[in-house]
Structure 1
Amino acid sequence: MFYQLYESTHAALQPARAYVDAVRMFYSNPLNPFSHMPLGRSVAAMAELFERTTRRYGKPQFGLDKTVVDSKPVAVTERIVWQRPFCNLIHFQRDLPEGSRPQPRLLIVAPMSGHYATLLRGTVEAMLPHADVYITDWADARMVPMSEGRFDLDDYIDYVIDMFHALGPDTHVMAVCQPSVPVLAAVAVMEARGDRFAPSTMTLMGGPIDTRRNPTAVNELAEKKSIDWFRDNVVMQVPWPAPGFGRDVYPGFLQLSGFMSMNLDRHIIAHKDFFMHLVKNDGDGAEKHRDFYDEYLAVMDLTAEFYLQTVETVFIRHALPKGEMNHRGQPVDLAAIRNVALFTVEGENDDISGLGQTQAAHDLCANIPGEMKAHYMQPAVGHYGVFNGSRFRAEIVPRIADFMESHGAEARKGGKPKVVRKA
């Protein structure tokens, strides 16, 4: 009933949002003398703040239509090249001039943890000059009809394997946060089968490979609660008239409340500053706030079976590092990984995936040769800074690009791969 109450409240606020939006436009119209006075700007600011805090934010767009390759500007076109009910694979096709040097093919596996894949817009933008980029665009579960069936962690792993097959050999993969576990499991399954489409390299960034190492508040919460508690308290049914009516989900709005409660003071201060930017007519400061929260407040539902299986497998049972994880009833054997180079990245101040949790993959993948492994810890960044921001672009991206170039098919033809530069 809680989901239905949320939807009813949202619908009941529609007239109020329409009214305050009209008020905002009236008091911000330059033809209105009050728009040039503090009183008028204050009224417009209050109206906009109310409308934004009660709005349901839709799925954002990537909006990446150009990049720079070899110091030359090139056009970028988004194309969906692979489709399933719960995911599309987007290719950022670059209009490279003839004779351009081939670059690695990179699959970025975005988190399926509440936000849309556009949260990695900066990640994609930073990698476009260095690679032929693809990204997983996970579907909002409330928009997928019940007739399309279930989607759980096993399905996630199958999707990743299918994408590797669709992209072909010598593909590189980057898993950001949550997908580090299913991507590592998918690679292990493929290596155990002798699958020639296994990636050349995998880059795991800020992922919960072994949450027993340096546990964070998020990890401790999961360990304190039983899986039945999560099933009883956070799983709800999608209400009518959404296409996914009747589907059991972990709702996006519930996830958002959890995200915001972790740093509530910071969000309150940000909205107060936004109000003052509007009153002082500081357009740049207000626009930065809009850009950030348009993305941050856009959330999606997860299927209940995927969410519960992930919580139990990764955070409660620690099945992967214990060697107890299964896929379709078969053990996931990380020792089977021998030919896929491994690069792990962590942030010094990461409060989601603590230091050492991602690096644990090196101990678990014991049969990958030492020269095919590298780890990098980025100083002075939190979880978001591991895959976005100025330090990511300046310090992390060059290392990822070097690693892919050093361990791709062409480099291996020339003999022993060189080791990527380290911190």
Structure 2
Amino acid sequence: MTKIYQAYQGYADLSDPMRLFAGTAAPLLNYRWPGWPDSLMLRKMAAACEVFSCTRLTHQRPAFGISSAAENGCTVSVHEEVADQTPFCTLLRFRKETKAEQPRVLVIAPMSGHFATLLRGTVSTLLRDHDVYITDWHNARDVALGDGRFGFDEYVAHLIRFIEKIGPGTHLLAVCQPTVAALAAVSVMAAERHPAQPSSMTLMAGPIDTRINPTAVNQLAKSKPIEWFESNLVSTVPGRFVGSQRLVYPGFLQLNAFMSMNLERHLKAFQNLYNYLVDGDDEKANVIKTFYAEYFAMSDLAAEFYLETVQSVFQDHALPLGELQALGRTIEPAAIRRTALFTVEGEKDDICAVGQTVAAQDMCSGIRPYMKTHHVQTGVGHYGVFNGRRWDNEIYPRLRDFIHSHHQYQ
């Protein structure tokens, strides 16, 4: 399996120039020369070229592109600032040009094959009423081998470091996979009576206890021994990259797994893209193109983190069984007392099913009932929990009110 990355990279090196050529040819084929009649054949050729060019996979993080935010009926400028940085992650702050003092929110982005920009919509919405930071995880193939390992311990240590950097009164928002690490970090800080314990912690659509209503993703993770995942899904970064010889779970393998779960939906999307391009419906075509430009931007995971997560979270269920270890101690969510808890689930979530995230409520038995809230959003799947119309109009108002009501707990 160690050669699969090299094989993929060889294929990409051969096919990417063809995709770039197709992307260049599309507007030329679609150009309406003066006096020339409209040609359906040329429109179809142009559409086919553009669709083919959109299938290019990249390892470059797209831009967040957030330059302004709405605040109290006004528009304020937003600037990205590096608040802290390690070889594996940048703590990014979206600083607003405002004098208003607002709750500081640390968005903990998933490290699951995509970049933190997948949460662009989440951040944009939060900026209306908050001072927002995000964990901008680096692509593991761009981290030199000499920078050391990155496993679950290192992940938790990063979260604690970033919470300390932002300071007391921070509010956490963990989306999907990092909910386990977020709960572990806050548990460690509580057990150590850390002065910077967060004021609140929101866990959204995360695998806190995957024994509950197991999904296809959960079942796949338990279908093979951990040695199978190591032998078949871990590969070595090729020599031409900064992270040469680092063992990773390649982003293209994770992307393939995600797409295979909903293959018909993706094929239909590209068929629709082709039809919209032929019909000249640029607005609808651009929505699909924008989505896949983000979706096909991949990030490799450090092998240690991937394998430890599969084993402890999905196979051993270490957290709900009281056996999860991090930073040399057993994780005890019951130690948390000062941090309010909000859990959010999506009714139609086929990745982290209803019941898996709310399990944190019982684990955090030391938090008083009036500091706990749970919400199941009807009509949304996994991504609808943190992006889209219902996130904006139904989930976010509850989250905003929760954060602001517990902002005094510092």
Normalising by the smaller structure, the TM-score range is over 0.9
Answer yes or no: is the 8 Å Cα contact 1:35–1:41 preserved in 2. no
Question: Hey, what's the Cα distance between the residues in 1 that align with 2:6 and 2:58?
Answer: 15
Answer yes or no: is the 8 Å Cα contact 2:57–2:297 preserved in 1. no
Q: What stretches of structure 2 of length at least 5 have no aligned partner?
A: none
Match of 1:42 in 2: 44
Question: Hey, what's the Cα distance between the residues in 1 that align with 2:395 and 2:16?
Answer: 44
Question: Hey, what's the Cα distance between the residues in 2 that align with 1:343 and 1:203?
Answer: 5
Partner-residue secondary structure (3-state), 1:36: coil
Displacement after TM superposition at 1:35 (Å): 8.5
Question: Hey, what's the Cα distance between the residues in 2 that align with 1:30 and 1:78?
Answer: 41
Question: Hey, what's the Cα distance between the residues in 2 that align with 1:275 and 1:344?
Answer: 40
Answer yes or no: is the 8 Å Cα contact 2:54–2:292 preserved in 1. no
Displacement after TM superposition at 1:292 (Å): 0.7
Paired residue type of 1:186:
A
- Structure 1 consecutive aligned stretches of length 4 or more whose deviation exceeds 4 Å: 32-35
Question: Hey, what's the Cα distance between the residues in 2 that align with 1:243 and 1:343?
Answer: 40
Paired residue type of 1:285:
K
Compared CA separation, residues 304 and 129, structure 1 to 2 (3 A):
same
Counterparts in 2 of 1:362-377, with a 5 A limit?
A: 362-377=361-376
Question: Hey, what's the Cα distance between the residues in 1 that align with 2:295 and 2:116?
Answer: 11
Paired residue type of 1:51:
S
Compared CA separation, residues 208 and 26, structure 1 to 2 (3 A):
same
- After TM superposition, the structure 1 stretch with the greater mean CA deviation from structure 2, 42-51 or 352-361, is 42-51
- After TM superposition, the structure 1 stretch with the greater mean CA deviation from structure 2, 7-16 or 70-79, is 7-16
Structure 1 position 124 matched with structure 2 position 123 = yes
Q: What stretches of structure 1 of length at least 5 have no aligned partner?
A: 414-423
Match of 2:89 in 1: 87
Displacement after TM superposition at 1:86 (Å): 0.4
Compared CA separation, residues 18 and 334, structure 1 to 2 (3 A):
closer
Paired residue type of 1:86:
F
Answer yes or no: is the 8 Å Cα contact 1:27–1:35 preserved in 2. no
Partner-residue secondary structure (3-state), 2:54: helix
Displacement after TM superposition at 1:299 (Å): 1.1
Displacement after TM superposition at 1:29 (Å): 2.5
Question: Hey, what's the Cα distance between the residues in 1 that align with 2:34 and 2:87?
Answer: 50
Question: Hey, what's the Cα distance between the residues in 2 that align with 1:59 and 1:286?
Answer: 22
Identity %: 48
Match of 2:152 in 1: 153
Note the aligned Cα RMSD (angstroms).
1.4
Match of 1:28 in 2: 30
Compared CA separation, residues 22 and 61, structure 1 to 2 (3 A):
closer
Compared CA separation, residues 279 and 14, structure 1 to 2 (3 A):
same
Counterparts in 2 of 1:106-255, with a 5 A limit?
A: 106-255=105-254
Question: Hey, what's the Cα distance between the residues in 2 that align with 1:25 and 1:290?
Answer: 15
Question: Hey, what's the Cα distance between the residues in 2 that align with 1:16 and 1:2?
Answer: 22
Displacement after TM superposition at 1:25 (Å): 3.2
Structure 1 position 310 matched with structure 2 position 309 = yes
Compared CA separation, residues 149 and 34, structure 1 to 2 (3 A):
farther
Compared CA separation, residues 267 and 196, structure 1 to 2 (3 A):
same
Q: Deviations over 1:316-374 (max 9, x none)?
A: 00000100011133111111111110000000000000101000001111111001101
Displacement after TM superposition at 1:240 (Å): 1.9
Question: Hey, what's the Cα distance between the residues in 2 that align with 1:400 and 1:123?
Answer: 12
Q: Deviations over 1:116-135 (max 9, x none)?
A: 00000000001101110000
Answer yes or no: is the 8 Å Cα contact 1:29–1:35 preserved in 2. no
Q: Relative contact order (alpha carbons < 8 A, sep ≥ 6): 1 or 2 greater?
A: 2
Match of 2:7 in 1: 5
- After TM superposition, the structure 1 stretch with the greater mean CA deviation from structure 2, 50-59 or 400-409, is 50-59
Answer yes or no: is the 8 Å Cα contact 1:28–1:35 preserved in 2. no
Partner-residue secondary structure (3-state), 2:320: helix
Q: How many residues align?
A: 408
Paired residue type of 1:362:
Q
